[in-house]
């Protein structure tokens, strides 16, 4: 279903994707997928359109951050962007680690924001959690997945079956979110 959002004289196309499994409305902006709205079965399209209008600030910020090129969207990196978003990214990462760690009760030693081109996040052997400053441009569900992923490395320092079971306890749809995050061309370790 093609739809359009008019923001600041720009026309931004978006796709509404009905989902039987989704429980709430969600918007994602991806390199290959563009702007996609996930529509749970018990929510009508008008409500979805209203939701998109409400979130147009976030959509625009996310889109501005990418360069559109031949229909594909690429992540733009710069030192200036890093400095501008670092503190906001740190606040977000801290809040999300605190939120999800009430469930796991692990002991992260330090939370840092990095300016990395190829990684969303990492966990060091000493228990430091690192996140890319670009998390400020991700949808909340992707940040949740990323934070849970790195938190779970405090218990399982690998990508074993046990690791993914641990992630799945808090984020049951982690497989889908992992794929979505890969669209940005940045990896999670
Ligand atoms: Zn990992």
Residues of 112-151 as b/e, b for ≥16 C-beta within 10 angstroms?
ebeebeeebbbbeeeeebbbbbbbbbbbebbbbbbbbbbb
Ligand 1 is an ion; its neighbours by CB within 5 Å are 189
d(CA 41, ligand 1 centre) in Å: 32
pLDDT in tens, the chain (189 residues): 568 887 766 778 899 999 999 989 998 887 667 788 999 999 999 999 999 999 988 887 777 666 543 333 345 567 888 999 999 999 999 999 999 999 999 999 999 999 987 789 999 999 999 999 989 888 889 999 999 999 999 999 999 999 999 999 999 999 999 988 876 666 666
Token duo for residue 127: 């228990």
Q: pLDDT at position 157, please? A: 95
- 46 CA to centre of ligand 1 in angstroms: 38
- Report the pLDDT value the prediction gives residue 72, as an integer from 0 to 100: 36
Question: What is residue 131's predicted lDDT score, i.e. its pLDDT?
Answer: 96
User: Residue 39 class from Cβ within 10 Å (0-12 exposed, 13-18 middle, 19+ buried)?
Assistant: buried
C-alpha 49 to ligand 1 mean position (Å): 35
Ligand 1 geometric centre to CA of 173 (Å):
16
Measured in Å, residue 60 CA sits from the centre of ligand 1 at 30
Beta bridge partners of 66: 75
- List, in order of start, the domains of the chain with CATH numbers: 2-74 (no CATH), 79-188 (3.30.2010.10)
How remote is the CA of residue 156 from the centroid of ligand 1, in Å? 9
Tokens of 72: 């594909």
Tell me the CA–centroid distance for residue 2 and ligand 1, in Å.
Answer: 35
3-state per-residue secondary structure call for 105-145: CCCCCEEEEECCCCEEEEECCCCEEEEEHHHHHCCHHHHHH
Distance CA 31, CA 29 (A): 7
**How far apart are the CA of 91 and the centre of ligand 1, in A?**
22
Which residue from 125, 12, 131 is spatially nearest to 60, judged by alpha carbons?
12
Which phi and psi (to 5°) does residue 9 adopt?
65, 10
pLDDT (0 to 100) of residue 187 = 63
Max alpha carbon distance in the chain (Å)? 49
β-pair partners for 17? 38
Cα-to-centroid distance, 153 and ligand 1 (Å) = 7
- pLDDT score, position 80: 85
Calculate how far, in angstroms, residue 169's C-alpha sits from the geometric centre of ligand 1: 16
Give pLDDT, residue 102. 96
pTM of the model: 0.63
């Amino acid at each position: 279903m093609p739809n359009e959002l008019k923001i600041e004289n720009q026309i931004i196309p978006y796709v509404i994707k009905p989902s039987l499994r989704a429980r709430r409305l969600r918007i994602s902006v991806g390199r290959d997928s563009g702007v996609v709205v996930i529509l749970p079965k018990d929510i009508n399209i008008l409500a979805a359109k209203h939701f998109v209008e409400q979130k147009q600030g976030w959509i625009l910020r996310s889109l501005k951050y990418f360069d559109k090129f031949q229909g594909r969207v690429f992540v733009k990196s710069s030192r200036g962007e890093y400095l501008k978003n670092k503190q906001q990214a740190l606040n977000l990462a801290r809040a999300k680690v605190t939120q999800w760690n009430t469930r796991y009760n692990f002991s992260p030693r330090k939370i840092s924001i990095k300016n990395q081109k190829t990684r969303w996040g990492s966990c060091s052997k000493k228990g430091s959690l690192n996140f890319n400053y670009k998390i400020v441009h991700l949808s909340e569900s992707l940040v949740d997945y990323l934070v849970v992923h790195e938190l779970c490395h405090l218990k399982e320092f690998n990508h074993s079956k046990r690791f993914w079971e641990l992630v799945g306890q808090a984020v049951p749809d982690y497989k889908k979110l992992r794929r979505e995050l890969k669209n940005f061309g940045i990896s999670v370790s």
